Structures are given as C-alpha cells and as structure tokens.
Chains A and B, each alone.
Chain A
C-alpha cells in the first residue's frame, strides 16, 4: 500500500541544523511532487515546502525560505528536508505528503516526526 515514513526528528539547539527524511513506498515516487507540512503540537497545519516530481524545482513558505532546503532522491524513493538556523518557532511535528491532482491536495501523509528546538 501507499506509505510514507518520516525519520530524523529530534532535539536540536537554536541555530542548529537537522535533516529529515521521508521514505516512500507503494507508488511511483518519481511521478509525484512531494511536500513537507508542519504542525506545532496543539496548533494548526502549516505548509513548509514542495519539490517537483523530478527535483528540478522547489518552493518554500516565507517562514522557512533561505533556511530550509527540500530535495529528493528518486533512486532511493526518499524525500528530504534540510533545516538550518533553527529557531524555537520551528519546533513542530513535520509531515511529508504526496501531492495529488490538479487541485493539489495532500494524500497520503506520513506519521510525522517531531523536531524540538531547545537549549
């Protein structure tokens, strides 16, 4: 079945870096754009970044632009999010999600990985 599994979350100090991974299975990974979406515990959802199906283009929310980099390795069916200059406000559960359809909904989502930014 279609599945996304995130990893790489953990505790990092303010100003530090972390790389998240999202392993995809059960579908043709290289045919879909992929996203990262985050959620501060107890709060709402915030779109973070998107990468095209072939990795040739990407885009970011203003809140992370210049600090985060989304990428993918289609040979490994894996999506990445390199996060640097982390701030307390970046502390959240990070989900990867597949882009679907002309209206660009997210389906499925991974189970999420928690990033804690604290000294």
Chain B
C-alpha cells in the first residue's frame, strides 16, 4: 500500500495563490495526477504527469513534484475553484492506484 498525505483543508482569498500539497514516500519517483471534484459531481483531472494540463483547464492550474512533495498550485483563485482536490499516483511496485485523502479548498 502506498500512502499519499494531503492537508484536509486550505483556505485562500480570491485572487491569491493556493498551494495544495501531496506527500508520499519517494514521491519524486512517481508521476502525480490531480483531480478537482465539486459537490455532487464526478472528479475531473486538472493536472497529469506532475505538471501537464489537459485542454480546457485554465493556465491558473499548475503542478510540480519536487521529490519530497507534489504540489498543485492555483493562481488567481476564483470562487468557482472551491472544491475538493485529490492527488493520485500509480504505484509500479504493486501495480495499484492510490489517492490522497483529499483537500477541501475554501475561497474566503
């Protein structure tokens, strides 16, 4: 089993920058994907392969993976960004998929 650790909540004022972290053992050796989930909706990928952004996702969303922690950064936060965010990896050793516990982003 591979454990991914996220802060339960992050709060940010509109227009500011939100950083949501995801920690895991030797996470730098893995590719991290990020999902946004709004209430009553299915998750949507916002970042894949650490830092790639799918078409249709605003440039305000970016990702990085330093080796110790992966980070989803949302610049110029808007009220519509309020949601739960999950990190996810594929663990090659177990050939299983794992999610972080999720972070609730609150826009003040």
* A joins B in a complex: yes
Q: Interface majority SS on A: helix, strand, loop or mixed?
A: strand
User: Are A106 and B43 in contact, with the CB atoms below 8 A?
Assistant: yes
User: Are B102 and A112 in contact, with the CB atoms below 8 A?
Assistant: no
How many B residues touch the partner, as a band? Answer: 20 to 34
Decide yes or no whether A27 CB sits under 8 A from chain B: no
User: Are B42 and A104 in contact, with the CB atoms below 8 A?
Assistant: no
A35 to B49, CA, bound (A): 18
Decide yes or no whether B73 CB sits under 8 A from chain A: no
Closest to B84 in A: A44
22 contacts between A and B (CB under 8 A): A35-B97, A44-B101, A45-B37, A45-B43, A45-B102, A47-B96, A47-B97, A47-B99, A59-B95, A100-B48, A101-B48, A101-B49, A102-B31, A104-B33, A104-B90, A104-B97, A105-B49, A106-B43, A106-B88, A108-B44, A109-B42, A112-B42
B34 to chain A, nearest CB (A): 9
Q: Mark A38-76, 1 if CB is under 8 A from B, else 0.
A: 000000111100100000000101100000000000000
Interface size for A (C-beta < 8 A) is 23
Residues of A within 8 A of B99 (CB): 44-47
User: Are A105 and B42 in contact, with the CB atoms below 8 A?
Assistant: no
Residues of A within 8 A of B49 (CB): 101-103, 105
Residues of A within 8 A of B35 (CB): 45, 106
User: Are B101 and A105 in contact, with the CB atoms below 8 A?
Assistant: no
A105 to B44, CA, bound (A): 10
Residue from A46, A100, A105, A110 with most neighbouring chain B CB atoms (10 Å): A105
Residues of B within 8 A of A44 (CB): 86, 99-102
A80 to B99, CA, bound (A): 22
Q: Please name the 4 residue pairs, one residue from A and one from B, whose CB atoms are nearest each other, closest first.
A: A103-B31, A105-B33, A47-B97, A109-B42
A108 to B90, CA, bound (A): 17
